[in-house]
Amino acid sequence: MKTIEMTVNGERVQALVEPRTHLADFLRDHQRLTGTHLGCEHGVCGACTVLIDGQPARACITYAVQCEGSEVRTIEGFEDDALMNELRAAFSREHALQCGFCTPGMLIAARDLVLRLPGAHERRIREEMSGNLCRCTGYVGIVHAVASVVQARGASNETPVAQAPTASSAPRFTPVEDRAEEKRQSASPVGAGTRIEDEVIVKHPLERVWAAFADMPGVAACLPGAEITESAGSSVKGRITVKFGPMRAAFAGAAALERDEAAKRGVIRGAGQDALSSSRARGDITYSLSDAGGGSTRIALGIDYSLQGPLAQFSRGGLVKEFVGRMVAEFAANLDRRLAAGTLAPPPAAQLDAGKVFWKWLWSRIKAIFKLRRRAL
């Protein structure tokens, strides 16, 4: 058993819990805050969504001990929140709930959306809310309710309440009815999804690395879980497989490469769908190469992606950063091996198991918590 302390809805709480207790059980059983619902308990349905340090998170896949010292806000903690009250009224007005089981999670996700994306149009609202499932299938009412709040706030030019926008990639404000903007965002391969940046250095000269990056099948062979099924010039078709604990996703789709020889910069634009979960992904991988000295090359990577469907919950948070960081490190190591061997056709890279990344990440978080507490004693 472990004593933990955190702030829940503005109040400091302390409790003795088993390390395996997840945050949703802690809130429901220890704090009697039963507004946080449990549906799938696999991080898929979003019923258990709460705010942890201002960010929406799945309480069912977050251990309570991970929240040591954090600020947790549940649906019960929004009584005096103007925006939440607007959303509640809109949900009632637009018939956005039937049994109401998904509603607490929907409201918390919707509030975050309105704060981050004050100009979100209907398509974007559907995309952003796709990580919250309603078993009564009342999505039209939910989308209308959120859109009406976005629109009303845009019309009154009201500034967001209580919380600053969190996504660095939040787009500029545009009214809901701005169809030109909707078209522009729809035409963009990624829209305003999640952006992750990383950098690696490989011990090979710039020109050699640049030449290797022109070979799409070769680049794909360095990416864990990627496989090319068709290749024609700078365009390829293929799939990338990742495992996330009990979930396995295989995104099949197409990608195209654009290169700027003078700037030594390129972008791979791709989109794919996982048939099993019906999740869709779109992404741009931008790379920029520069001389790192001593015959080495610096590869600056920018990864912009958006996920729709049941896997959309993996769009945010430190976990996905950890996963991408590990993927980039494996890519660099494979590229390094490939360049050292001087072969254009290395064996396909092994699939990356995000489940292992999850446990590694979780273990590092738990160790950090205990280390912090020891220092405090």
Distance, CA of 94 to CA of 166 (rounded, Å): 27
Least Cβ distance, residue 303 to ligand FES (angstroms): 25
The number of C-alpha atoms within 13 Å of 154 and in the hemisphere containing its C-beta is 19
Q: What is the size of the binding site for ligand FES (CB under 6 A)?
A: 22
Under DSSP, the state recorded for 203 is: S
Based on the shown chain and the rule CB under 6 A, indicate whether residue 101 belongs to the binding site for ligand FES.
yes
Q: Contact region for ligand FES (CB under 6 A) — 96-104, 115-123, 150-158, 345-353?
A: 96-104
**Measured in Å, how far apart are the chain's first and last C-alpha atoms?**
18
Distance, CA of 54 to CA of 267 (rounded, Å): 33
Element (H, E) at 276: none
Q: Whats the size of the chain, residue-wise?
A: 377
Single out the residue of 35, 54, 100, 217 in contact with ligand FES (rule: CB under 6 A): 100
Based on the shown chain and the rule CB under 6 A, indicate whether residue 228 belongs to the binding site for ligand FES.
no
Least Cβ distance, residue 102 to ligand FES (angstroms): 3
Single out the residue of 138, 225, 309, 310 in contact with ligand FES (rule: CB under 6 A): 138
Dihedral angle computed from the Cα positions of residues 109, 112, 117 and 120, in that order, rounded to the nearest 10 degrees? 30
Least Cβ distance, residue 106 to ligand FES (angstroms): 7
Least Cβ distance, residue 307 to ligand FES (angstroms): 15
Q: Contact region for ligand FES (CB under 6 A) — 8-16, 129-137, 302-310, 346-354?
A: 129-137
Least Cβ distance, residue 138 to ligand FES (angstroms): 5
Based on the shown chain and the rule CB under 6 A, indicate whether residue 267 belongs to the binding site for ligand FES.
no
Closest CA to 200 of 62, 332, 4, 38: 332
Based on the shown chain and the rule CB under 6 A, indicate whether residue 277 belongs to the binding site for ligand FES.
no
Cross-strand pairs, 236: 231, 255
Of 13-42, binders to ligand FES (CB under 6 A) are 38-41
Q: Contact region for ligand FES (CB under 6 A) — 44-52, 110-118, 283-291, 325-333?
A: 44-52
Based on the shown chain and the rule CB under 6 A, indicate whether residue 270 belongs to the binding site for ligand FES.
no
Single out the residue of 60, 176, 192, 327 in contact with ligand FES (rule: CB under 6 A): 60
Measured from the CB atom, is 39 or 317 closer to ligand FES?
Answer: 39
Measured from the CB atom, is 134 or 202 closer to ligand FES?
Answer: 134
Q: Contact region for ligand FES (CB under 6 A) — 132-140, 252-260, 322-330, 333-341?
A: 132-140
- Burial class of residue 376, CB neighbours in 10 A (0-12, 13-18, 19+): exposed
Measured from the CB atom, is 95 or 367 closer to ligand FES?
Answer: 95
Single out the residue of 8, 33, 45, 117 in contact with ligand FES (rule: CB under 6 A): 45
Single out the residue of 58, 121, 269, 282 in contact with ligand FES (rule: CB under 6 A): 58
Q: Provide the b/e sequence for 215-250 (b: ≥16 CB within 10 Å).
A: ebebbbbbbbbbbbeeeeeeebebbbbbbbeebbbb
Distance, CA of 131 to CA of 16 (rounded, Å): 32
Least Cβ distance, residue 57 to ligand FES (angstroms): 10
Amino acid at 177: E
Based on the shown chain and the rule CB under 6 A, indicate whether residue 75 belongs to the binding site for ligand FES.
no
Q: Contact region for ligand FES (CB under 6 A) — 45-53, 151-159, 211-219, 332-340?
A: 45-53
Single out the residue of 33, 65, 113, 134 in contact with ligand FES (rule: CB under 6 A): 134
Amino acid at 285: I
- Tokens representing 56 are 């929406």
Based on the shown chain and the rule CB under 6 A, indicate whether residue 136 belongs to the binding site for ligand FES.
yes
Amino acid at 95: H
Rounded to 5 degrees, what are φ and ψ at 83?
A: -65, -40
Q: Are 61 and 44 in contact (CB under 8 A)?
A: no
Distance, CA of 281 to CA of 132 (rounded, Å): 17
Binding site for ligand FES (CB under 6 A): 38-41, 43-48, 58, 60, 97-102, 134-136, 138
